[in-house]
Structure 1
Amino acid sequence: MRIIAGRFRGLGLANVGKGDAGAHLRPTTDRVRESLFSMLTGGRFGDPISDARVLDLFAGTGALGLESLSRGAAHVTFVDDGRKALSLIRENIAKCRCADQATIIKRDATRLGAGQPHDLIFLDPPYGKGLGEKALTTAITGGWLAPDALIVWEEDTAITPPDSIAVLDTRRYGDTTISVCAFQPDQSQVG
């Protein structure tokens, strides 16, 4: 795995091989990550990365958040509760020398609690367990999503987003489906 573009371009990240099934680590491949960021930066969604506050839920290796930092995001909050994942995230932050732009939260992404609004959310839960829906609902309730926040949701099947989430685009890459969504809160969800 490597950073695809930006200031960390070409930097190799910690190697997890084909992933760690026991730790639910299934890193997004370089090819899928490149396609995902091409989709985000292709103009349809404006410029969702520059100066963004990014929330990387089920962060795994942290590759998605670090790719966004490399491309100009202001700050990334990584959320994961796996020992192996947290170790990989720390190692990758050290490789990128970006600790001043990163926060690691050791927590189950479906139990976030209260937080600050973020502009871009990466949601890459273990496949087939309905955890993405739970994590997103918790993030909305806790105030983690800014109005009009863009959400990039990886899953292996069709997603069922909460009512305030609009699906803007969906693309399939092998066994991975990437849905780009937007948070469109009603007044009761704006804090």
Structure 2
Amino acid sequence: MRIVSGSLKGRRIIAPKKLPVRPTTDMAKEGLFNILNNRLHFQEIEVIDLFAGIGSISFEFISRGTQRVTAVDANYDCIKFLTKTSEELDLNLNIIKSDVFDFLEKTSQKADLIFADPPYGLPIEEFEKIETIIKEKSLLNEDGLLIIEHSKHTKLEHIDTFSEQRRYGNSVFSFFKFNL
């Protein structure tokens, strides 16, 4: 994995092969952040990265100046890798080991952007549940944005807060906006 832009631009982060992750490709990540660069002031937002894995998205936000990033993942080895890498790079990343759905149900933390990259094989009901909990608990700040990364075979356009999607190879980013 490579950090695409910002203070850590070009830095390669090599995760152990045993981790159960599918990192966002550099091409997809670059496309996503080109879109976000025109919509957000990275230094002024708070981000929650759900199913954070090796932290590809979290590290990209931090590299671009986001001061408040929370990474949530249930896998012990992913959390261990995130902690080690954050310490090595001297980054302020809030790392939480938790099942994402448990975290969403229990947290009162709000964010300007919530990014979720669940396993592509997750049942459609689980993808819908992410959006439902975030909406019901009002976990996004005003004008907040939920982005879910998923396979091109997963269709989320039927969800009422769906706004748009962008496809990069087999990966799709679906954007959801909530009327607050």
* TM-score where L is the length of structure 1: 0.81
Q: Which residue of 1 aligns with 2:156?
A: 159
Q: Which residue of 2 aligns with 1:34?
A: 30
- Aligned-residue Cα RMSD (Å) equals 2.0
Q: Which residue of 1 aligns with 2:97?
A: 106
Q: Partners in 2 of 1:76 and 1:8 — Cα distance?
A: 15
- Which stretches of structure 1, 4 residues or more, deviate above 6 A after TM superposition? none
The percent of aligned pairs where both chains have the same amino acid is 33
Residue 72 of structure 1 and its aligned partner are, at CA, apart by: 1.5
Aligned ranges 1:4-43 → 2 under 5 Å: 4-17=4-17, 20=19, 23=20, 25-41=21-37, 43=38
Structure 1, unpaired ranges of 5+:
186-191
Q: Partners in 2 of 1:161 and 1:137 — Cα distance?
A: 13
Tell me the amino acid that sits aligned with residue 4 of structure 1: V
Residue 160 of structure 1 and its aligned partner are, at CA, apart by: 5.3
Structure 2, unpaired ranges of 5+:
none
8 A contact 1:48–1:150 mirrored in 2: no
- Tell me the alpha carbon deviations over residues 117-172 of structure 1, each in whole angstroms, 9 at most, x when there is no partner: 10011110011313332233223334422122122210012225754x231x3111
Tell me the amino acid that sits aligned with residue 103 of structure 1: N
Residue 76 of structure 1 and its aligned partner are, at CA, apart by: 0.4
Aligned length: 174
Aligned: 1:58 with 2:51:
yes
